Amino acid sequence: MTKKAPTFEEALARLEAIADDIEQGRVGLEESITRYEEGMRLIQRCRTVLTEAEQRIIRLQSDSAQEPAEGG
Amino acid sequence: MAREPFNPDLAVGGAGEPTGQRGAARRDDAARVYTVAELTRQVKDAIEAALPPTVYVAGELSNCKRHSSGHIYFTLKDESSELAAVMWRGDASRLKFKLEDGLQVVVTGSVSVFERSGRYQLYARRVEPRGVGAIELAFRQLCDKLRQEGLFDARHKQVLPPFPARIAVVTSPTGAAVQDILDTLGRRYPCATVLLYPVSVQGPGAPRSLRDALATLNRRQAEWGGVDVIIVGRGGGSVEDLAAFNDEGVARAIFASRIPIISAVGHETDVTIADLVADVRAATPTAAAELATPRAADVLEEFVFRATRLRRALRHLLELRGAQLATAMRRKPFADGAWLVRDRRDLLERQERAVRAATELRIQQIKLRVQVLLSAIHRLHPQRFVAMQWQRLAEARNALDRGLGTRIRVAERALNLADARVEQSSPRREIAALRAQLVSLVRRIALAVAQCSRRSADRLSASGQRLAALSYQTTLRRGFSITRNKRTGQVVRARADVRRGERIVTEVADGVFESRVQDEKQPELFD
Tens of pLDDT, residue by residue over A39-59, are 999 999 999 988 888 888 999
User: B215 and B259: one domain?
Assistant: yes
**Confidence label for B4 from pLDDT (cuts 50, 70 and 90):** low
For residue B339, tell me if it sits in a domain. no
A46 CB neighbours in chain B (<8 A) are: 299, 303
| Chain A residue with the nearest C-alpha to that of B311 | A36
Determine whether the interchain pair B203/A63 forms a contact, defined as Cβ–Cβ distance below 8 Å. Answer: no
Nearest-neighbour CA in chain A from B192: distance (Å): 7
Residue B525 near residue B449 (C-beta atoms within 8 A): yes
User: B142 and B274: one domain?
Assistant: yes
Of B195, B300, B321, the CB nearest to A58: B195
Determine whether the interchain pair B300/A33 forms a contact, defined as Cβ–Cβ distance below 8 Å. Answer: no
User: B146 and B121: one domain?
Assistant: no
Q: For residue B388, is pLDDT > 60?
A: yes
Neighbours of B520 (CB within 10 A): 13
| Chain B residue with the nearest C-alpha to that of A17 | B310
CA-wise closest residue to B168 among B191, B141, B124, B198: B198
Of B300, B316, B318, the CB nearest to A51: B300
A28 touches chain B (CB under 8 A): no
| Chain B residue with the nearest C-alpha to that of A13 | B306
Close Cβ partners of B236 (under 8 Å, ≥ 6 residues apart)? B176, B266, B267, B270
Q: For residue B493, is pLDDT > 90?
A: no
Domain boundaries, chain A: 8-52
Buried b (16+ CB within 10 A) or exposed e, B117-148: eeeebbbbebbbbeeeeebebbbeebbeebee
Range of the domain at B90: 20-131
Share of chain A above pLDDT 90, in %: 36
Report how far Cα B276 is from the mean position of its chain's Cα atoms: 45
Close Cβ partners of B74 (under 8 Å, ≥ 6 residues apart)? B61, B62, B63, B64, B65, B85, B86, B87, B99, B124
Cα separation, B70 vs B95, in Å, equals 12
B320 CB neighbours in chain A (<8 A) are: 25
User: B214 and B78: one domain?
Assistant: no
Determine whether the interchain pair B235/A7 forms a contact, defined as Cβ–Cβ distance below 8 Å. Answer: no
CATH number for the domain harbouring residue B71:
2.40.50.140
User: B204 and B227: one domain?
Assistant: yes
A4-13: long-range contacts (C-beta < 8 A, 24 or more apart)? A4/A46, A4/A49, A4/B165, A4/B191, A6/A42, A7/B163, A7/B165, A8/A46, A8/B162, A8/B163, A8/B299, A9/B161, A9/B162, A9/B163, A11/A42, A11/A43, A11/A45, A11/A46, A12/B302, A12/B306
**Confidence label for B335 from pLDDT (cuts 50, 70 and 90):** low
Determine whether the interchain pair A8/B162 forms a contact, defined as Cβ–Cβ distance below 8 Å. Answer: yes
Q: For residue B343, is pLDDT > 60?
A: yes
Question: What's the confidence (pLDDT) of residue A69?
Answer: 37
Q: Kindly state the average pLDDT of the residues A32-39.
A: 92
Determine whether the interchain pair B191/A49 forms a contact, defined as Cβ–Cβ distance below 8 Å. Answer: yes
Residue of A44, A45, A56 to mutate for B, most B C-beta atoms under 10 A: A56
Number of domains composing chain B? 5
Q: For residue B132, is pLDDT > 50?
A: yes
Q: Which of B106, B131, B156 is the last residue of a domain?
A: B131
User: B143 and B272: one domain?
Assistant: yes
| pLDDT tens per residue, range B141-199 | 999 999 999 999 999 999 999 999 999 999 999 988 999 999 999 999 999 999 999 99
Instruction: Give the H or E element holding residue B211.
Output: helix B206-220
Q: For residue B19, is pLDDT > 50?
A: no
For residue B1, tell me if it sits in a domain. no
User: B209 and B320: one domain?
Assistant: no
Q: For residue B244, is pLDDT > 80?
A: yes
Among B241-245, B280-284, B344-348, where is mean pLDDT lowest? B344-348
User: B165 and B244: one domain?
Assistant: yes
For residue B410, tell me if it sits in a domain. yes
| pLDDT tens per residue, range B395-442 | 777 777 777 777 777 777 777 776 677 566 666 676 677 788 888 877
Cβ contacts below 8 Å, chain A against chain B, sum to 153
Q: Which of B98, B131, B164 is the last residue of a domain?
A: B131
Cα separation, B404 vs B464, in Å, equals 28
For residue B13, tell me if it sits in a domain. no
Question: What's the confidence (pLDDT) of residue B25?
Answer: 45
A24 CB neighbours in chain B (<8 A) are: none
Determine whether the interchain pair B306/A55 forms a contact, defined as Cβ–Cβ distance below 8 Å. Answer: no
User: B386 and B490: one domain?
Assistant: no
Question: What's the confidence (pLDDT) of residue B471?
Answer: 66
Residue of A33, A43, A51 to mutate for B, most B C-beta atoms under 10 A: A43
Q: Kindly state the average pLDDT of the residues B319-344.
A: 78
User: B206 and B312: one domain?
Assistant: no
Cα separation, B231 vs B170, in Å, equals 6
Cα separation, B185 vs B445, in Å, equals 145
B176 CB neighbours in chain A (<8 A) are: 72
Determine whether the interchain pair B205/A67 forms a contact, defined as Cβ–Cβ distance below 8 Å. Answer: yes
Cα separation, B358 vs B101, in Å, equals 127
pTM of the complete model: 0.55
Share of chain B above pLDDT 90, in %: 45
Q: Which of B103, B131, B159 is the last residue of a domain?
A: B131
Instruction: Give Dmax over CA atoms of chain A in angstroms.
Output: 67
Question: What's the confidence (pLDDT) of residue B28?
Answer: 54
Q: What is the DSSP string of B111-150?
A: EEEETTTTEEEEEEEEEEESSS-HHHHHHHHHHHHHHHHT
User: B253 and B120: one domain?
Assistant: no
User: B197 and B226: one domain?
Assistant: yes
A57 touches chain B (CB under 8 A): yes
Cα separation, B257 vs B210, in Å, equals 12
For residue B153, tell me if it sits in a domain. yes
Q: What is the ipTM of this complex?
A: 0.80
Determine whether the interchain pair B310/A40 forms a contact, defined as Cβ–Cβ distance below 8 Å. Answer: yes
Q: For residue B92, is pLDDT > 90?
A: yes
**Confidence label for B8 from pLDDT (cuts 50, 70 and 90):** low
Neighbours of B487 (CB within 10 A): 12
For residue B356, tell me if it sits in a domain. no
| Chain A residue with the nearest C-alpha to that of B322 | A29
